[in-house]
Chain A
């Protein structure tokens, strides 16, 4: 079972029920659960969407799109049924927060899904977990069954005349399926190949009907917004970035773990105070601030607030909330190689710049790291990556290119250190030294 961490600087909203037994429906209710949805039902769709807009909640899946605005794009009238789709595919390396939500607070996801359904006029919601999260599906399915048994799901929920069904399932191993249109394909029983946009899912989504797709953390946050009041929730965060976020600290911090902090919280403070600094008192080399697809920040660039706008201004992205901490022992060429290997493996192969680009980057970096690189390779790597940008069918191509460009730009010296057949200056240490921290 993943260990929970705690720090006085934390503001626990989404994680407030972690470790409290809230996977049991009665306990969830005891802790104030299923109140928000009743309130939302009384007030109606327009009020819900106005509250969501006022909360300044932005999508936790990576792009940070304002959730209230996303919901408002769904047409009021539709011949085809509308759907809510919860994205729990969580596969961006460095990210493990939805894991904790499904484990400790599955009902918050169900309650958020119903509220989203009320807002857009959907009668059905799907909760899609990544295939590796089978034990979490078991927890989710029990939670759903319990909610049906209480009359919170099904026909006439909470004694109203509103019907709402929820189905949860897992995928079967594919990062690309986390992309929203590929996710819909997968849920329709197909290969996870993305769809052409427009039309956007809000207009033509699952089974051709208007669909709202949100990350699991986004959805789990929704009931808390109504519980606290939208303005109060917004105020916790920074400008245009409402509330808190679950930050998954991993890598070389002293106390790795998932911490919930207000949007805009200082990254340097997160690493040095909340997460206890760098293990063994070593020097920090770099931070990947929002999952493997976000451009790396130098140790000198981390005195910034963690919200979508401020990290953007610093030349990276807040992404999925995966804060990966790299100390002085890391070889950045090897790190770049491992990153691109992932994208090469996960490219669905649909479009050429991504399929071929990731493959060439992997080949070049492999050769380079092994000491067989040439000086012109350094510029070639960057050139290749830059030419993938914006030329692919879905953002996976960009997700592979952006970090690669940053590695070369910011750590050129380390690339040069591998030239002329020189051995990697950060030679591998024996396993026990690396593992036994």
Chain B
């Protein structure tokens, strides 16, 4: 992030998002009593579409909400799911919080490190997987639980997780 990106809020031309997402944004800003309320959903949807929050995405969202880029960056840095760098195509999030820990969540995370050859917040060289150790994801009674992007997988063992990772890997090569 260069200093010019923070301080100069150029007016972006057109949109960098798909027509569907741009239309969704147009609607989102009308739903709330205050435009700015749409900020966090917009950041998430933008990230879903382009994989991360690029400078251009941030600039366009700031412009759409009539906020400064600095203001938007200040907000996005608070939320753990928002990122300003690309992650893997499939972001494997392993919960190691208490309920999962009691059911082998930590071991599951270490298993992923070995299987994928990467650590916390790292991405495989082919860009297919990234790995994250995460806090409770609201699947405690079905622990240990893992989220791959937005999909939940629960009651896992290293073996069942391997099968799931293999499925994602084959999806990536399609």
Contact = CB atoms under 8 A, between A and B. Distances in A.
Interface residues of A, number: 64
B139 A2 contact: yes
A42 to B, nearest CB: 29
Q: Kindly name the residue among A251, A288, A326, A330 whose own CB sees the greatest number of chain B CB atoms within 10 A.
A: A251
Interface in A233-268: 248-252, 256-258
Contacts, number: 166
A324 B43 CA distance: 34
A431 interface: yes
B140 A248 contact: yes
B96 A338 contact: yes
Q: Kindly name the residue among B32, B101, B135, B158 whose own CB sees the greatest number of chain A CB atoms within 10 A.
A: B135
Interface in A327-361: 330, 335, 338-339, 342, 345-346, 348
A91 B140 CA distance: 10
B107 interface: yes
Nearest to B111: A431
B97 to A, nearest CB: 4
Interface in A208-248: 248
B79 A174 contact: yes
B170 interface: no
B107 A342 contact: no
A257 B142 CA distance: 7
Contacts of B38: 189
B141 A256 contact: yes
A169 B27 CA distance: 13
A300 interface: no
Contacts of B79: 131, 171-174, 192
Interface stretch (B5-13, B15-23, B116-124, B147-155): B147-155
A177 to B, nearest CB: 8
B89 to A, nearest CB: 17
Given A189-B36, A431-B110, A92 B136 contact: yes
15 contacts: A93-B97, A124-B33, A132-B138, A189-B34, A189-B75, A250-B99, A256-B142, A258-B141, A338-B96, A338-B97, A345-B135, A348-B78, A431-B108, A435-B158, A437-B103
Interface of B: 31-34, 36-41, 43-44, 65, 74-76, 78-82, 96-99, 101-104, 107-108, 110-111, 135-144, 147, 150-152, 154-158
